[in-house]
Amino acid sequence: MTERSPTEGTPDSELPVDGAEPDRVVVDALTRTYGGVPVLDSVSLVFGPGLTAVIGPNGSGKSTLLGALAGTVPPTTGQVQRPNAEDRGRKSIGYLPQRVPFREGFTARETLAFYARLVEGDPDAALASVGLSDAADKPIEDLSGGMQRLLGIAQAMLGDPPLVVLDEPASGLDPGMRERAFRTAATHATDDVTVVVSTHNLDLVDAHADRVVMLARGQVVAAGDLDALRDEYSVDTTAALYEAARRDATLSETADDGDPARSGAAAEDERSGSGDDSDRDVHVTGVSER
């Protein structure tokens, strides 16, 4: 995944916005405001196959970014381009919102059967993929929070979408369930499937994520291959990376004289010593074209 300039502008010609790389998800100068207040501010990223974790403090814009990826949050400005799989008989997006939304009164199997019928999927296979076969006949309201999240993950995976977006799939779960939720997501993140997960569980990011995006105040403060970022910041864990990136972002904001347009990813540019606008894209090992 590539993090690009935080400033607005026309789509970068280097980005595969015209489907040159159809498996990529391109976020181009995405801004989303609520009541005029930007929750995401000129975010530009490219997501590729594998598991990408979106991390950041509460209110940093993680859910808004994931909603924009899933198509449930329209951008105020900018655009999101996703792989279209419907012409290949697949669902284009798998989405699990932060709050599992399934109707009470239906069993786990009935719930998945509803979605499976829409994409000619197999609800029993989907249940088995998240280890819920034994709970198939339990009503939604009798499932634990962890089981409901696993069911939500199974739902998102139905129809083999090339893009799966899971908003905090491990939230509120015990350690065993958290591990299971992330392992399931990681298992599905194959060569042609992009899985994007938001989380506060940084140990799980260490264990399962290929890449990471860190948000703060609606802007990207670090993004790229997880190992490369840890090397870049000379840290061993995602938790240490999180602290280092956040510290850098805070320092950068202070040095920025309060200009909001130059916070966030602009800090990345300054840290790398680049002052040239054309050079402000952040290089990501193994993904970036630059």
Distance CA 56, CA 222 (A): 10
- From CA 122, how far away is CA 140, in angstroms rounded? 19
Task: Spell out, one character per residue from 142 to 171, where the chain touches another protein: x when CB under 8 A holds, - when not.
Answer: -------------x---x-x----------
* Residue 91 beta carbon to another protein: minimum distance, rounded to whole angstroms: 6
Q: Backbone dihedral region of 29: left (phi > 0), alpha (psi from -120 to 50 degrees) or beta? A: left
Query: Across-strand partners of 27?
Result: 45, 80
**By CB under 8 A, is residue 47 in contact with another protein?**
no
Q: Does 110 bind another protein (CB under 8 A)?
A: yes
**Does residue 70 bind another protein (CB under 8 A)?**
yes
**Contacts (CB under 8 A) with another protein, residues 190-249:** none
Q: Is 91 in the site for another protein (CB under 8 A)?
A: yes
> What order of strands is seen across the sheet that includes strand 37-47?
2-3, 37-47, 25-34, 77-81
Query: Quick one: 67 or 264, whose CB is closer to another protein?
Result: 67
Q: Is 258 in the site for another protein (CB under 8 A)?
A: no
Which of 6, 50, 94, 169 binds another protein (CB under 8 A)? It is 94
- When asked if residue 106 is in the footprint of another protein (CB under 8 A), the reply is yes
The residues that bridge with 216 in the sheet, in sequence order, are 219
Q: What SS3 state is found at 101?
A: coil
> Of the two residues 167 and 268, which places its CB atom closer to another protein in the complex?
167
Q: Least distance (Å) from another protein to the CB of residue 115? A: 6
137 binds another protein (CB under 8 A): no
- Considering only 118, 207, 251, 255, the residue that binds another protein (CB under 8 A) is 118
Q: Site for another protein (CB under 8 A): which residue of 10, 20, 36, 258?
A: 36
Q: What are the C-alpha distances in Å from 172 to residues 60, 145, 176, 199?
A: 19, 7, 12, 11
Q: Which amino acid is at 152?
A: G
Residue 53: CB atoms within 10 Å = 26
Backbone angles phi, psi at 197, to 5 degrees: -130, 130
At 76, the amino acid letter reads T
Residues engaged in binding another protein (CB under 8 A): 31-36, 38, 67, 70-72, 74-77, 86, 91-97, 99, 101-103, 105-106, 110, 114-115, 117-119, 155, 159, 161
